[in-house]
Structure 1
Amino acid sequence: MSIFKLRTSNVSLRFSILSVFFTLLIIAMLSLIALMHYRFVKNMTSISFDFMQEASFAAFQQITEEMATAESRSASTARLIQLSVIDPDNLEEMVAYTTDLILSESIISPSIQSVYWADENGTFVMAERTANNTISSEIINRSKLPASSEYIYRNTNGQIIKTIRSFDLNYDPRMRPWYLTGKILKKTAWMPAYRYQRSGFLGTSVLTPVFYPSGKLHGIVNLNIRLDYLRRQVEGINISPHGIAFIVDSDGKIIAFPKVIQDRNSTLLNISSLPYPWVIQTFNYYKKHLSQKFLLNYAGKNYLAIYKPLLHFGSHEWFIGTVAPQDDFTTELRKTHMITIVFALIMLMLSIAIVSALISNTVNPLKTITNEIKKIKNFELEDRPPVQSHISEVVEIAQAIHSMKQGLRAFQKYVPATLVRQLIQVGEAAQVGGEKKSLVILFSDIQDFSMIAEQMLPDQLMQHICDYFEELSRIIVANQGTIDKYIGDAIMAFWGAPLVASQPAQHAANAALQCVNRLRALNAEWQKMGKPILHTRFGLNMGDAIVGNLGSKERLNYTAIGDTTNMASRLEGANKLYGTQIIVSESMYKIIKEDYILRMLDYVMLKGKSEAIFIYELIAEKHDPIPYDIATYNSYFAKAFMAYQHHYWDRATKYFTFCSQIYPADRVAPVFIKRCHYLQVNPPAADWNGIWRLNEK
C-alpha cells in the first residue's frame, strides 16, 4: 500500500502533545497527591503517638522511678536491719534512720509520705512528712511495761520542738493490712490502695519483711505513698490541650485522676463513674484487647490511648493511662498537608500554562514545515527561506527540506515533473538486505597467541583454546550477548539483536569485566597445570550497524557489519599500546560512566577513521575495590592531558608523573611521559590538539 494513501482519523500535533503531556502530568500530579495523602493518613496515627509519647515520657518515667525507688528503699532498709547495720531495738537509732530517709527522699521521691517499722512485739517506729513540710516521728514501745507511745514534732529546720508521751495505745501495727500481708507473703510486695488508720488518707504501701537467721519473722519495713500525691503528679502531666493522664487499677478503680479528690471517700471511685466517656471506652477496650497503644473512635472522634503497667500485687495491677484527642496532635499537620496539596495543584496549573505556551512555539514552525512538505508532494518547489525555530531538531528538518527542494529542483531538469509527482504519490516503503540497529559490539583477542600456538601441540592447542572459548562464551551469553563468530583466537559478539536488550551497554560491560575476572582465575589454574596463560584484550563500541542474515544461497551467517564493528576491533587492538585489557569508545563511555569505574586513555584517530574520538579503559564496577585512588588519578590525568593538548610538555609530564606515583603499576602514564619527551624535541603543528593516530589494526 502506498504510504501516501493512508487515511486515518487524525488530530493536530499540538493537540496530541498537549493531550499526552496534560494526561501524564495530571496523572503524575494526582498520583503524587494521592500518595502523599495516603502516606499522611497512614502515618498520621504513628506520628500522633510519637508526639503523645514524647509529651508524657518524662512524667511516666518520674512516676515509674518513684515507685521503683520506694520499693528499693523498702528492700534496702530491711536488708540493713537483717545485716544488723541498723539495730531495730535501738529505738533512737531507728527514729534517726527513718527521719533521715524521709528527708533524703523529699527530693528524689517526694511521693513517699511515711516510713514504718514494726516488729512481732508490737514495737513501732514511724517518720512521716506533715502537711507543713516538717518531719514528725512516733515511737510505740511495747517491750517495756507499761507500754507507751511518744510523738515527736520538729520544725522546718529538723529541730525537735515538742514531744508528747502517752500510755493510751489504740494502734497496733500487727493488725494492719500491710503487716499481715508481709507476714503472709514473706517478700517485698505492694499493697492495693487502702485507707491509712492514723491519717485517714488513701494510699498504698510497699513492704519488706525481715527475718531472724532462724527464719522467724522479726518485723516489717513499710513505706507509704498517698494517692493525693500521685493525683498531683498526673495533674502536672501536660500531654496536649485536651489530654488526660491517670492511674487506674485492673478493676477500674481510680488511683489518681486529675481534679478527682477522693481522700475522704469510703471506697475508691470507679472509672465508669467519671464524666469522661471517651476515657471509659479506652479503658474498656484496653481490658478487652490488652493493647498498650491504640486508636479508638468515639462519637465520630478519634482518641489516642496509651496504657502501661505500673505495679503488680497478686491478681491486681495498676496502670498509667494517657488519653487524648488525635486532633490535638494533627491539626497543624493537617494544615501543612492541605497547604502542600493546594501548592501542588497550583504548580500543576502553572505547568500546564507554561507547557501550552512552549508547545505552541514548537508546533507553529512544524505547521509551516508541514505545508512545505505538502507543496513538495505536489512538486511545488518554489525557493523559500528555511523555517526559523529555537529548537535544533526543527531547524535541522527545515534545512533538510530546504536542501531536498534544491536537489529536487536540480533533479527536475532531468526528469519530467509529472513523472516525479507520480513516483512520489505511489512511493512504497522497501527494505533490502540487513536491518539497521543500534548495537554494542565486543571484540576480544589473545595477546601473543601466535607464539603460544607455535609452542603447543595442535591437539593441546585446540583443547586449550576451546576451553577458553567455552568459559568466555558462557559469560557473554549469560549477559544476554550474541556470539557472532570466532575469528582464530578472537571472539566477536554483540548486544541488541536479534532480541532487543534492555541496557545493552551495561550487559556488555559486565560481560567484559566478568571475562577478565574469570580469566584471572583460569590463568592461575592453567599456570599450575603447565599450560600457557591467555592474556586477553577487549574492545567495546556502541553505534548503528547492519545486522541480518548475510551470505549466499548455500550458506548464511547472522552477523553484524559496518563501521561500528570495525571500530570495536580497532579498540581491542589499541590495548597493546596502553597496556590495558578493556577499552571502550566514547559512545559506550557516555552510557555506562555512572555505573562503572573508567579512566580516560587518549584522544585518538583510529586506522581508517577521519574523526578523532576519546577512548577509555573500563576498570571495574562502581563499588568494586581497586588498588589505587582512581578519583585522584583521574583528576591529575585530566590536568595532565589538558596541558598535553596545549603543548605544555613540562606541566603535562609533571602531572603524568603524579599519576604514576598514585598507580605505580600503570602503563598509561609512562606512554604519555614518553610522548611528551618526544614531542618536546619534535613539536607538532601549532593547531595540534592532542590527537594521536593509531595506524595499527
Structure 2
Amino acid sequence: MRMRLGEWRLRPSIVVLFIAMVLPVFTAAIWAGYVSLERMARSQAEESVDRARVETIGHTEALVDPIASLVRVSSRLAAEQPEFFRQDRALPTMLEVLSHSPTISSVYVGFADGSYRMALRVPPKVKIHGKDPPPITLYANRWIDRSAKSPLEVYTFLDTSSQVLGTSTATTTYDPRVRAWYKDAVEKKGLITSNPYIYATTGLPGITVAMPFMVKGQVGGVVAIDILMDSLSHFLKARLVSPNSLSLIVDRDGLIVAHSDASQVLKRDVAGALSRVRINELKDPLPALAFGERGAHKQAQFNFMHRGDEYVAMFAPFPPEFGKAWDVVIVTPLEDFVGEASANNRQLLLMGLVAIGLQVLVIYALSRRIARPLEQLEQQVQDVQDFKTTHSEPVRSRIREISSLATSVGTLQGAITAFSAFVPRELVRQLIATGHKLELGGRSQFLTVMFTDLEAFSTLTEITPAQELLDRVSHYFDVVTRATIVEKGTLDKFIGDGVMAFWGAPAQLEDHAYHACVAALRIQRGMDKLNADYAERGIPPLRVRVGIHSDAVLVGNMGAPDRMSYTVMGDGVNLAARLEGTNKEFGTNICISHAVFREAGERLWIRRIGVVTVKGRRQDLQVYELMGLKDGDPELLATPQIIRLCEMTNKAYASFEDGDIGQARQRFIEITEAFPGDPLALAMIAKCKTTDDEVITV
C-alpha cells in the first residue's frame, strides 16, 4: 500500500512516540513523587507531633486521675473514722494504696493538731535521721504525735512482707500544717494538685494530690499522696516523635515538669541543693527558641528555622479540668521525616533515567520485529474488508499479541465465508471451531434432541394484539435460546411458537443428554421468572412444554448447494417432537424418553408417566417427567416437596406396573391429597378405573 501524505512509518513512530510519551510522564511522576513524598513527610511529622501531644496529656491524666480517686476515698474514710489514721491499724490500708502504682512515693495524713502519719516507699541510698535504714527495707511508717510537749518522729521500717525490721526515733520540728499542700487543700476546701517540688523526705521531684476531710464541721486534716515525676520523663523518652526530637512538660513559669531526658529536670547549685530547671536553662536551646517563636505564631503547632534546618514545634496546654496550667512542648527536626523521602527521590530519579535508556534500545529492536508481521496482517485485514476469501500465508511472530492477532485474522476470514451460508450465529461459531466443511452431507450420530412449544398458542394469537404477541414470544425465545447456549446446545430452528435444539454436534459433548435436561429446567425456571413479571402487570402467563429424546440421528448440512442448513433428521427427531405433545395428555411440563433416562437418569429427579404408544411406531415407549436435579446449580435442585412427589409417584406406578391396580389407584389418590390438582396423578387415577394395563396413544 502506498503511504499518504502525513502518514508515518511504524518503526520510527514507535520509538519517537515512546520517548515523547515516557519522558514527560516520567518527569511529571518524579516531580509529583517528590512533592507528594515531602508533603506526606510533613503531614506525618505534624500527625506524629499531634499524636504525641494526645498521648502525653492522656498518660498524665491517666497517671493522676486514679490517684486523685484514691485521695477522695481516703479523705472520706478519714472523715467517717477520724481516729483511723492515728492508729497503726491504718498502715495496711496505706501500704495497699502504695502498691497501687510504682509512681506513688508516699501516702500521708496531716491532722489539724499537727500530728502526722506517712507510709512511704523507701528509695535506695536515702538516710533516715542521718542513718541508713535496715538493708532490705522497702516501706517505712512515719508517725509524729503532737500531743506531747516535745514531739517525736518515729520511723518503723518494713520489708516486702510488711514485717518490722527496726525503728528510728528522733525529735522533730516538722509541722504538716505549714506545708503548702496542707494549706492549699484547706484553702480550696477540695482536691488540689500541687506544682512539682522536691520532696523533703526523699529528695526526689514529684507532685502532691491532696484533699481535706471534715470532722464535726471543722477541718480534721488533709489526706495526700505523692507522685514521682520521673515516670513522666520515662514516658516522654519512650514516645519520642523521631530520633532527634525533644518532648517536655513545662508549667506557666517555664519550669520543667518532665523531660524526655530525665537528667535535665533538676539542677544542683554550688551548695549542692537541688532545684528545678527553667526552659531557658536547658542544654539544648531548641525548646527555648521555640518558646520565643511561639509569640510570632497564632497557632499551637508551627514550623521555625534554626541554623538552616527546619523544625516542627507544638505547645499544647493541658485541659482546664486537669487543674494545672501545664504545656506539652514537642520540638522535632523535619529532616527526620523528609530525609528518607529525599533519598528515595534521588534513587528513583537515577533508576528512572537508566530504565528509560534501556527501554529506548529495547523498543528500537522490538519495533523492527513488530513492523513486518503487522504489515502482513494489514494486507490480510484489507482482504477481509474486501470480502476476499482467499487464504493468505499465515503470519508468524514470537510476540504473543501479534501471533494471537494473526490467528484471529485467519479465523475472521473463515467466519466471513461461514456467515454467508449459515445461521444462527452460534451454530456458525461451532462449525468454525470444529472445522466442518461447508458442503452438503451428514453422518449418523447419537445425539439428544429437544422440542419446546407454547401451550394454547392458537388461543393466545386470537386474543393478544400483534405487537404484544411478538414481544411475549420474543421473550420466550430469548429464555430458550439463553438456556440452550449456556448448556452448550445447538439451536437449530424456530418453528412457529416451537424451538428445536440438539446436543452433541457439531462439537462433541460428553453427557449431552444431561445438558439437554439441565437446559429444559433452565427454561422452566426462566419462564417462572418471566411469568412472575407478567403477573405483576396483569398479563396471562405462558406455559412451555418440552420433549427430550436421545437417539441416533442424521446430522449435517442439509438442503441445496446454494442454501443449506446444519440440522438433524430421523425417527429420533420425530419422537422428540411427539414427546413434547405428550405433556398435553398428562398436564406435565418436561417429558423425557427412556433413552434420556438411561443416559442421565441417575443425576435427575424424575417420575414415571407410563408406557405410551407413539403414532407411527410399533414399539411402546416408556416416558418420564423431569422434575429437577440431584446436584449442580442450586436454582435447579429439586425441592423436598418435589422429591416427595417423585417418590410417591414412582411408588404408585410400581404398584400399577405390578398389576395391583387397586393399590396403585389408592396411592395416586394419596398424591392428589398431598399435592391437590396434580395432573399426572389425576390422569393415572382415571386410567386405573378403565383398564389394568392399557397403554395411551399419542
Give the alignment's TM-score, normalised by structure 1: 0.52
Distance 1:329 1:351 in 2: 33
Partners of 1:195 and 1:202 within 8 A in 2: yes
8 Å CA contact 1:69–1:109 kept in 2: the answer is no
Preserved contact between residue 388 and residue 395 of structure 1 (Cα < 8 Å) = no
1:497-576 pair list within 5 angstroms:
522-526=533-537, 529=538, 531-533=539-541
Deviation readout 1:37-62 (Å, 9 max, x if unpaired): 34422322344567779999998876
Describe the shift of the 1:516–1:54 C-alpha distance in structure 2 as closer, same or farther (beyond 3 A): farther
Could you tell me how far 1:468 is from its partner in structure 2? 7.8
1:14-413, aligned counterparts within 5 Å? 14-48=11-45, 65-84=62-81, 87-88=83-84, 90-95=86-91, 97-99=93-95, 101-102=97-98, 104-105=99-100, 108-110=101-103, 112-128=104-120, 129-132=122-125, 134=137, 135-142=139-146, 144-146=147-149, 148-152=151-155, 154=157, 159-166=164-171, 169=173, 171-194=174-197, 196=199, 202-212=205-215, 215-227=217-229, 230-231=232-233, 234=236, 240-257=242-259, 258=261, 259-262=263-266, 268-283=276-291, 297-305=305-313, 316-363=324-371
- SS of the aligned residue for 1:303 comes to strand
Give the number of the structure whose alpha-carbon radius of gyration is greater.
2
Amino acid at match of 2:633: Y
Amino acid at match of 1:186: K
DSSP 3-state at the match of 1:132: coil
**Any gaps of 5 or more consecutive residues in structure 2?**
127-136, 380-391, 410-424, 427-451, 477-495, 498-525, 549-554, 568-596, 606-627, 639-698
Rate the CA distance shift 1:353–1:314 in 2: closer, same or farther, 3 A.
Answer: closer
How far is 1:147 from its partner?
5.4
Shift of 1:152: 0.9
- State the one-letter code of the partner of 1:109: P
CA contact (8 A) 1:200 1:264 kept: no
Matched to 1:662, the amino acid is: G
Distance 1:667 1:96 in 2: 75
**In 2, Cα distance between equivalents of 1:68 and 1:334:** 44
Find the aligned partners of 1:32 and 1:651 in 2 and give their Cα distance. 64
Judge conservation of contact 1:191–1:313 (CA < 8 Å) in 2: no
SS in structure 2 at match of 1:662: coil
1:141–1:148 contact (8 Å) kept in structure 2: yes
Structure 1 residues 303 and 201, CA gap change in structure 2 (3 angstroms): same
Does the C-alpha gap of structure 1 residues 604 and 149 become closer, same or farther in structure 2, counting only changes over 3 Å? farther
Aligned match of 2:631: 661
> Could you tell me how far 1:370 is from its partner in structure 2?
11
Contact 2:61-2:322 within 8 A present in 1 as well: no
1:118–1:124 contact (8 Å) kept in structure 2: yes
Cα distance change on mapping 1:516 and 1:316 into 2, 3 Å: farther
**Kept in 1: contact 2:42–2:337 (CA 8 A):** no
CA distance in 2, matches of 1:250, 1:604: 100
Task: Tell me the matched-pair count.
Answer: 464
Q: For residue 357 of structure 1, report the CA deviation from its aligned partner.
A: 0.7
- When residues 277 and 653 of structure 1 are mapped into structure 2, their CA distance, relative to the original with a 3 A threshold, is farther
Deviations 1:174-208 (A, max 9, x none): 22221122123333231123455666765321112
Are the equivalent residues in 1 in contact too, given 2:304–2:310 (CA < 8 A)?
yes
For residues 357 and 252 of structure 1, do their structure 2 counterparts lie closer, same or farther at Cα, with a shift above 3 Å needed?
Answer: same
**CA–CA distance in structure 2, aligned partners of residues 241 and 198 of structure 1:** 36
Look up the equivalent residue of 2:12 and give its one-letter code.
F
Shift of 1:390: 5.5
Question: More displaced, 199-208 or 305-314?
Answer: 305-314
- For 2:226 and 2:599, the matched residues in 1 are separated by 87
Residue 651 to residue 304, structure 1, CA distance change in 2 (3 Å): farther
1:12 aligns with 2:9: yes
1:24–1:654 Cα change, 3 Å: farther
Q: How does the TM-score come out when normalised to structure 2?
A: 0.52
The whole-number CA distance in structure 1 between the counterparts of 2:634 and 2:43 is: 56
AA partner of residue 192 (structure 1) = N
SS at match of 1:45: helix
Deviations 1:128-150 (A, max 9, x none): 334437434432223x3425132
> SS in structure 1 opposite 2:105?
strand
Q: Following the alignment from structure 2 to structure 1, what is the Cα–Cα distance between the partners of residues 467 and 8?
A: 65
Query: What letter matches 1:139 in structure 2?
Result: W
In 2: Cα distance, 1:54 partner to 1:356 partner: 53
Q: Give the superposition deviation at 1:70.
A: 3.0
Q: CA deviation at 1:221?
A: 0.9
The C-alpha deviation readout for 1:369-416, integer Å capped at 9, x for no partner, is 999xxxxxxxxxxxx99997657969999xx9xxxxxxxxxxxxxxxx
Paired residues of 1:228 and 1:263 also in contact (CA < 8 A): no
Render the CA deviation track for 1:638-682: whole Å, top value 9, x for unaligned: xxxxxxxxxxx99987778996523376499xxxxxxxxxxxxxx
Quote the Cα distance in structure 1 between the aligned partners of 2:280 and 2:336: 24
Taking the aligned partners of 1:396 and 1:196, their CA distance within structure 2 comes to 88
8 A Cα contact 2:53 2:328, kept in partner: no
Q: Amino acid of the residue matched to residue 86 of structure 2?
A: N
Distance 1:448 1:83, change over 3 A: farther
Q: Which amino acid aligns with 2:192?
A: A
- SS of the counterpart of 2:209? strand
CA distance in 1, matches of 2:531, 2:316: 63
Kindly state the Cα deviation for residue 222 of structure 1 after the two structures are TM-superposed.
0.9
Does the CA-based 8 Å contact 1:51-1:329 persist in structure 2?
A: no
1:220-279 deviation per Cα after TM superposition (whole angstroms, max 9, x unaligned):
111123556655665566654322232212443311232325355797543244353433
Contact conserved, 2:210 with 2:224, CA < 8 A, in 1? yes
Give the stretch that moved more between structures: 32-41 or 172-181: 32-41
Query: Contact 1:307 / 1:320 at 8 angstroms: preserved in 2?
Result: yes
Distance 1:353 1:332, change over 3 A: same
Provide the C-alpha distance between the structure 2 equivalents of 1:310 and 1:360, rounded to a whole number of angstroms.
72
Runs (5+) with no aligned partner, structure 1: 372-383, 401-439, 442-446, 473-487, 490-514, 537-574, 579-602, 613-648, 669-697
The one-letter code sitting in structure 2 at the alignment partner of 1:113 is: S
Q: 2:206, 2:228 within 8 Å by CA — same for their partners in 1?
A: yes
1:141–1:147 contact (8 Å) kept in structure 2: no
* CA distance in 2: counterparts of 1:467 and 1:91, whole angstroms: 101
Identity of aligned residues (%): 21
